[in-house]
Chain A
Amino acid sequence: MNARMLRVFAALLVWLAATGAAAQDDEAVLDNVVVRNRLYEPGGHLEVSLGVGLPVQSHLTAHYFFTGGVAYNLFNTFAIEARAGYAASRHTGLARSISESFLAREDKRVTDELEDLWEMNFHGVAGIRWAPIYGKLSLVSDLPAHFQAYVWAGGGVGSFQRNSVIQCSQVVDRQLGVCDNRTSLEDRGSASENYWVRETRMAPVVSAAVGFRFFILDKHGVRLELRDWVFRDNYRVNLVRDDWEAGRVTGDVASSPGLTHLVQFDLGYTFSF
């Protein structure tokens, strides 16, 4: 009786194991089908791209990026890319408000410049793009969208300008916060020149991004990207109001100014040859 039961159990175990193994095999085959059947294989292809970037966070400055890029896909998952462009930048309303009110705040005779006021304009970077994820998305029942998810890292150089919101070298109207040559005190737009202390520089920049590239038709694609531009800040501390209002250079360079991050959401188009 025991031997018979043992044989039955053994047979049952073998059957269960075989069934499970078969199911696993089927699943493995399916997975491979999913993985292998890539409709778009960018490896070995050159591609060009255009993009527009909008600021995700804007405290004192806002940037609007216009970039173009050339990339070569060494493999399906790996590419090298060069990007260059121009960022139109401006002070935010908050920065303008601070600058106007601070002119009238004469109780603050010594202060430091604010951080993160550098605005990036021209820039060029080169980097690598690693796209380990290839996926398919069911947008509607009959329309699958193929995409790659990638990370990007690289570095380059950029041109920067910095317009102070504290140091006005020629105060026109302290109470109204006027520090420019406007023809009418009430009309800010009539000014053609301002007297805020302005600095420019070229500096290295590092950039990193995560994003998706959706393939469209054979050669086209849409890119959605979150990108961070990082560069070293540089500002002065211990500024004396009498000095800057007399047009003299004042203060010391901050010893550890930290890094400035410009985070942007980038919408782009790519064309693969």
Chain B
Amino acid sequence: MRPILSLALLVAAAAQAAPPRFPPSAVVLAQAEEAPSVPGPGAETSVPPPPAQPPEPKPEVPRAPTARPEPTVPSEAAKAPKVEPALAPMDDDAQDEQPVVSEPESVPERDVDAPVTPDDAPVLASSDEAPRTTDAREQRLVNGAPLYNPNVSLHIVQKKRFADESKHELALYPAVVQVNGKYTNHAGTALHYIYHLQENFGLQVTGQYNWHTNESDFNLELIDKVREQAQAASSLLLVWGAQAGVEVTPLYGKFAFLDDKLAQFSLVLSGGAGVGSTRHLIRPEVSNEVDGQRFNVPARFGDTGTKFLGSVGGGFRLQFGESYALRLEVRDLIYTARVDKVDGCNLADFEQLEAARASGQEFGSLPLSGGCKYEKFDGVDPKTKKNYREDIILGRDLVAEPSSDVLNNISFYAGFSFLF
């Protein structure tokens, strides 16, 4: 048996070395389009269709177990497109049992339009053993590629099952959580609209609202234990942001989860610019005791204006079906921060307010700057009995030393999108 096998290997090697008798893949593609019953290139069309007729036995040529068998094509089918049979799984046991020389048998007549299905077409999903043809000599090209090479996924990766071009995508991120919060904590919700201008390029409009913004526990710990705190500009809080930008998907792929589920994914990169509204913590949550009664006074924030906002980001888009996708991204919201006004009041305003507070003067008669909302620092909260005038000194501290910074608010975005 071994000499025969060796001889067969030699014959197979010679056959591999001979010039290919197959037309270029483009020609095959054209032919395949003419004859729909013939498997064409690409992953989806490379799978042989169910046989229209029972498999035909091989005529004349002895089969070598390590070489790809040639399909038997009736002479009447000379004008039919040439079809490369799919490669058979390499099964060592099967090779041993397979007769090396088979008697030629008569070839029954068949319809030339019927799909040519060799008897060694693989039953892809029938067993646990994957086709193994890693030996280059054993790789026969099917429409330009070794279809049953384990690396045949090249074809499959190349062909995207769902096209994005000209589609609209609406992505909702219910949870947007800041991950680099040294001095600040942000959590919010974002909504993105993307129009996929091309397959890998889209225009994007984004909106985000942070329903939780506060200074971090670390910053409060510094204040409490060592009387230190971040500069006002470094602990600026972003309330909302709106941006326009672009999104590109340079990479895509597929993955299998536990051999059962298949998902397509794309690597998305995005960038944009816009504006965002900021604020700063003036006073953390405190308890206020008035006439023996204790009130819980919520934290107080001061408006620090709208700032220029930019962003860069990246992540994965896992597509489920044609219309739904899961998005996991990380974005860095970059915004300029200069704190020289709080609630429209600058340092000179706060000093006038403080002087008026000390002397019990009304704020309305003060020559404050136009945008200063002095009402926010006047009066007493009827619920908590907190005197807002006590916050003037805290607001003054924020702008006493005007600070500036460029903040990076890196957040994790988890959401889903709908394509239409």
Contacts and interface: CB of A to CB of B under 8 A. Distances in A.
B47 A30 contact: yes
Interface stretch (B63-71, B98-106, B247-255, B283-291): B247-255
Secondary structure at the A interface, as helix, strand, loop or mixed, is mixed
A149 B226 contact: no
B125 interface: yes
A138 interface: yes
Interface stretch (B148-156, B366-374, B384-392): B148-156
Interface string B226-268: 1110000000000000000000000111111111101001010
Contacts, number: 118
Nearest to A141: B158
A144 B265 CA distance: 14
A112 B225 contact: yes
Nearest to A130: B258
Given A35-B262, A98-B226, A149 B43 contact: no
Nearest to B262: A31
A147 B151 CA distance: 13
B361 interface: no
A133 B152 CA distance: 18
Given A29-B124, A136-B153, A35 B252 contact: no
A30 B156 contact: yes
A37 B158 CA distance: 15
Contacts of B222: 98, 114
Interface in A133-147: 133-139, 141-142, 144-145, 147
A102 interface: yes
Nearest to A138: B157
Interface string A101-129: 11001011001111100000000000000
A38 B43 CA distance: 15
Contacts of A108: 226-227
A201 interface: no
A10 interface: no
Most B C-beta atoms less than 10 A away, residue of A34, A97, A166: A34
A134 B256 CA distance: 5
A57 interface: yes
A144 B252 contact: no
Given A98-B228, A112-B225, A138-B158, A132 B153 contact: no
Interface string B338-367: 000000000000000000000000000000
B323 interface: no
A40 B260 CA distance: 17
Contacts of B157: 136-138, 144
Nearest to B180: A57
B165 interface: no
Given A34-B256, A134-B255, A149-B255, A101 B158 contact: no
A132 B131 contact: no
Interface in B115-131: 124-125, 130-131
B47 A26 contact: yes
B182 interface: yes
A77 interface: yes
Contacts of B253: 135-138, 144-145
A189 to B, nearest CB: 24
Interface residues of B, number: 41
A33 interface: yes
B226 A34 contact: no
Contacts of A36: 124, 130, 259
B44 interface: yes
Contact of B43 (A33, A39, A166): A33
A138 B311 CA distance: 26
Given A35-B256, A59-B218, A114-B226, A30 B182 contact: no
A98 B228 CA distance: 7
Given A105-B226, A108-B227, A144 B257 contact: no
B412 to A, nearest CB: 11
A28 interface: yes
B43, B44, B259 — which one has the most chain A CB atoms within 10 A of its CB?
A: B259
Q: How large is the interface on A (under 10, 10 to 19, 20 to 34, 35 or more residues)?
A: 35 or more
B324 to A, nearest CB: 17
A112 B125 CA distance: 65
B156 A137 contact: no
A184 interface: no
B153 A144 contact: yes
Nearest to A26: B47
Contacts of A77: 258
B150 A39 contact: yes
B221 interface: yes
A35 B258 CA distance: 9
A112 B226 CA distance: 9
A105 B259 contact: no
Contact of B255 (A30, A111, A133, A142): A133
A255 interface: no
A256 interface: no
B362 to A, nearest CB: 35
Interface string A7-43: 0000000000000001000101111111111110000
A102 B254 CA distance: 55
A153 B258 CA distance: 19
Contacts of A141: 158
Nearest to B183: A59
Nearest to A32: B125
Nearest to A108: B227
Contact of A102 (B125, B130, B226): B226
Contacts of A105: 226-227
A96 B146 CA distance: 62
Interface of A: 22, 26, 28-39, 56-57, 59, 77, 97-98, 101-102, 105, 107-108, 111-115, 132-139, 141-142, 144-145, 147, 149, 165-166
13 contacts: A26-B44, A34-B262, A35-B262, A38-B150, A105-B226, A115-B221, A132-B258, A135-B253, A136-B254, A137-B251, A138-B251, A142-B154, A147-B255
Interface of B: 43-44, 47, 50, 124-125, 130-131, 148-154, 156-158, 179-180, 182, 218, 221-222, 225-228, 251-260, 262, 265, 267
* 5 closest Cβ pairs, A-B complex: A135-B255, A137-B253, A35-B256, A36-B130, A138-B157
